[in-house]
Amino acid sequence: MILAWLWALVPLALFFVWAYHRRQKRLQRFIQQNLVNQVASGYQPKRFRTKAIFLLSVFTFSILALARPQWGFEWQPVKREALDILIAIDTSKSMLTQDVRPNRLARAKLSIQDLLKKVNGDRIGIIAFAGDAFLVCPLTVDYSGVLLTMEDLDVNTISRGGTCIQAAIEVALKEYRDVPSQYKVLVILTDGENLEGDALSAAREARRAGIRIYTIGLGTREGELIQVEDVFGQKQFLKDQEGNFVKSRLNETLLQDLALSTNGIYIRASGAESGLDTVYDRELSRLEKREIESSMEKKYHDRFQYPLTLALLLLVVETCLTATSKKSSLPSSSR
């Protein structure tokens, strides 16, 4: 706190006391006490003490001004505006692919954590989807609650396997049904391997409902084998029913079509950026926010100008003071 600087008054005052006594001793070293008034009649110790008091006062009032004292208030209406952002995160086993480090799912979770550091008052909701979809965190400004939800997300969050982007969009439609936002946002983080449902048909329905979809592609076009853990905790590559290794690739075509069908954008996450940051900076932060609530709060009046004015006046007076009078400090010598 600024007021903690008031403790500096103690060493400053001690310095002035030391300087005063040092000057007195030097004077007594060369002039006897009973001759001080005759030899150095212009020197006035009382004026030196006055200057020190003025300087200490200037320091004190300057600190008080920096602390911005406030008293007196008036009631003012406060409107809070925010954007509603639903984030659908793919929790299917293909998200364990390590073509994006540490893996696709972990990268998606990290990007959401980074987003929470940027948003200010916007409501965030989380949808987890695989073969089905659930709203695991409703729209909220409790970002710590969102982070706790993110920690619990894994490939076992949705018991039904597979990937159904349509289910995620339908959950968003249901969640936004009673939300009067001008801009309803759904961000989908996935590798785009849609194995079930008709995602494009659901996207067109979302557009009619006023939902704008942004897609973040996680993975590479070349893809990689999916590495999972068995019941003993041993890592092994996932195989299909015929015993063939399953290779997961990023399906950018579907994700681009989903975004374009709702006037959104598609971005592929890379090593340099998570994709979600770019979507927020380029698009979401520029959307018009809606008024969430309006309330009255006290608006306190700043009063820093009073101690600041006193400090300036005391500084001017101190500058005009001198430690000696205008008389000559030594008598003229006669020959």
Three-state DSSP class for residue 113: helix
Extract the tokens encoding 51.
Answer: 């200057």
pLDDT value at residue 327: 47
Please check whether residues 253 and 208 belong to one and the same domain. Answer: yes
pLDDT value at residue 333: 41
Is 115 part of a structural domain of the chain? yes
Please check whether residues 144 and 180 belong to one and the same domain. Answer: yes
Please check whether residues 142 and 21 belong to one and the same domain. Answer: no
By CB atoms closer than 10 A (0-12, 13-18, 19+), residue 277 is middle
Please check whether residues 181 and 159 belong to one and the same domain. Answer: yes
Please check whether residues 64 and 114 belong to one and the same domain. Answer: no
Please check whether residues 309 and 285 belong to one and the same domain. Answer: no
Please check whether residues 141 and 18 belong to one and the same domain. Answer: no
Dihedral sign from CA coordinates of 152, 217, 190, 169: positive
Extract the tokens encoding 324.
Answer: 């000696």
In whole angstroms, what is the distance from residue 251 CA to residue 253 CA? 6
CATH number of domain containing 224: 3.40.50.410
Please check whether residues 249 and 218 belong to one and the same domain. Answer: yes
Is 331 part of a structural domain of the chain? no
Please check whether residues 39 and 83 belong to one and the same domain. Answer: no
Which amino acid, 302?
D
Contact 297, 75 (CB under 8 A): yes
Peptide bond connecting 138 to the previous residue in cis, omega within 30 degrees of 0: no
What domain range is 307 assigned to?
2-69+303-320
Number of domains within the chain: 2
Please check whether residues 65 and 88 belong to one and the same domain. Answer: no
Please check whether residues 84 and 56 belong to one and the same domain. Answer: no
pLDDT value at residue 17: 85
Is 282 part of a structural domain of the chain? yes
Strand partners, 50: none
pLDDT value at residue 178: 81
Contacts of 87 (CB under 8 A, 6+ apart): 112, 115, 124, 125, 126, 127, 186, 187, 188, 189, 276
Strand partners, 248: 224
Is 74 part of a structural domain of the chain? no
pLDDT tens-digit profile, the chain (335 residues): 788 888 888 888 888 888 877 877 776 666 555 555 555 555 566 777 888 888 888 889 888 888 888 887 777 766 667 889 999 999 998 999 988 888 899 999 999 999 998 888 889 999 999 999 999 999 998 999 999 999 989 998 998 888 999 999 999 999 998 877 777 899 999 998 888 889 999 999 999 999 999 999 998 888 888 877 766 667 778 777 777 788 888 999 999 999 999 999 999 987 667 788 889 988 888 887 766 665 566 678 788 888 899 889 988 888 887 655 444 444 444 43
pLDDT value at residue 296: 62
Is 329 part of a structural domain of the chain? no
pLDDT value at residue 28: 66
pLDDT value at residue 322: 64
Is 37 part of a structural domain of the chain? yes
Please check whether residues 274 and 164 belong to one and the same domain. Answer: yes
Is 326 part of a structural domain of the chain? no
pLDDT value at residue 24: 72
Is 46 part of a structural domain of the chain? yes
pLDDT value at residue 74: 78
pLDDT value at residue 307: 87
